[in-house]
Amino acid sequence: MAKEEKKRDAKKIIKWISWKEAEGDNKLHEAKELVPYWFILVDYFKDNDYIIYGSTHQSDDFRGVPVFDDNCYLAVSMRTWGNIMASCVNEREHTNKYDYLDFYMPYPGCRPEKWN
C-alpha cells in the first residue's frame, strides 16, 4: 500500500533555486499538482513586476524554480511555464492577448524580464 502524502497548503514563495538544485535537494518535494501553486505564482509575478521565461525556469545557471512554504518546488515544462507567465501578464494588463508562446523562451525583440 502506497504511503499517503500529507496535503500541502502553500501560501507563498520562500525562495528561488536552479533546476539543478531542485533535482538534487532531498529535503524538498516536487509539487504533484499545478493548480494550488498557480495562483501564488500569478500573485507573485504581478506584485513583483517581472517575467521569467520557460528556458530560464529550466536553466541550471539561473534561479528560476520557485520553492513554496510547504517545502514543495514547482518544476514544469517550458510551455507550462510560458502559460503561467501569459496568465500573469494577461491579468496584470487586463487583456487576453498573450499565450505560452510569448514566454516559453526569449526570442529576438521579446519582452524584457521586467514590466515597464
Does residue 35 have a pLDDT over 70? yes
- The pLDDT value recorded for residue 110 is 54
| Residues 67/75, Cβ–Cβ less than 8 Å | no
Flag whether 75 is in a domain: yes
- The pLDDT value recorded for residue 8 is 55
Number of domains the chain contains:
1
Residue 71 CA: distances (Å) to CA of 15, 67, 68, 90, 101: 10, 6, 6, 28, 30
Burial zone of 21 (CB within 10 Å; 0-12 exposed, 13-18 middle, 19+ buried): middle
Flag whether 13 is in a domain: no
Does residue 106 have a pLDDT over 90? no
Write out the residue range of the structural domain in which residue 30 sits. Answer: 21-102
| Residues 104/81, Cβ–Cβ less than 8 Å | yes
Helix (H) or strand (E) holding 80: helix 78-92
pLDDT in tens, 52-90: 889 888 988 889 999 999 999 999 999 999 999 999 889
- At residue 2 the predicted structure's pLDDT band, cuts being 50, 70 and 90, is very low
